[in-house]
Every structure is written in structure tokens, then in C-alpha cells.
Amino acid sequence: MNIVLRDYKPTDISEIGDLNSCRPSRVIPILEKFNQGERHRVNFDVSSSATVLMNKYIESLRAEGLDIGRGECAFGYQMPLPKREEIRRDLIIFRRK
């Protein structure tokens, strides 16, 4: 099943701060409000350790109880490669079901 992803629109200013905090305890309650196909982007500096940091962030979300991963998990994620001139790399978290 292909899901068309679209950006999540925060309902108030506090949600923006919580999403940008990258603290799982503040991010998860907002992620759980997502409708199917809504996504959130987390930016990381492009470096040789970016993928390691992204995986640690995913693991911290999992440790706090978010059902994220492959297959039947409620949430999925993508780590698209940045273009050569970009200095940031996105981790995209989306609601699968």
C-alpha cells in the first residue's frame, strides 16, 4: 500500500515547540494525533554520523512506547539522502495506519 505523505499542520504554537524539541516525551503525544499519511521532519546536520543519530532518535521513540518501524507498525520513517550541496538531512516520521 502506497501512502501519500503530507506535512502535519500543528494546531497551536506549543505543538511547534514540542515537535522541535526532539524530546520523545513531548513529541510522541503529537505524533499520536497524526492522521494516516501525515509526516514530521526532523533535521540533522549532514555528517558521517547522521544516520547513527537518526537511528538513536528512532530507538528513543521506540523506548518511550511509540510503535515505529517497518511492516505493521503504526508509524514508519524514511532517511532520504541529501543532495550534494545540502548541509541538513531529514528524518521523516509518518503515520502508516
Structural domain includes residue 59:
yes
Structural domain includes residue 35:
yes
**β-pairing verdict for 6-7 and 88-95:** unpaired
Structural domain includes residue 40:
yes
Residue 7 has pLDDT above 80, yes or no: yes
CA dihedral 72→58→30→20, nearest 10 degrees, is -150
Structural domain includes residue 23:
yes
Structural domain includes residue 1:
no
- 65 Rama sector, left if φ>0, alpha if ψ -120 to 50, beta otherwise: left
Residue 2 has pLDDT above 90, yes or no: no
Provide the domain count of the chain.
Answer: 1
Residue 79 has pLDDT above 80, yes or no: yes
Give 14-68 pLDDT, tens digit per residue: 999 899 888 999 999 999 999 999 999 999 988 878 899 999 999 999 999 999 9
Higher confidence at residue 2 or residue 45? 45
Domain that holds residue 66: 6-95
Residue 95 has pLDDT above 80, yes or no: yes
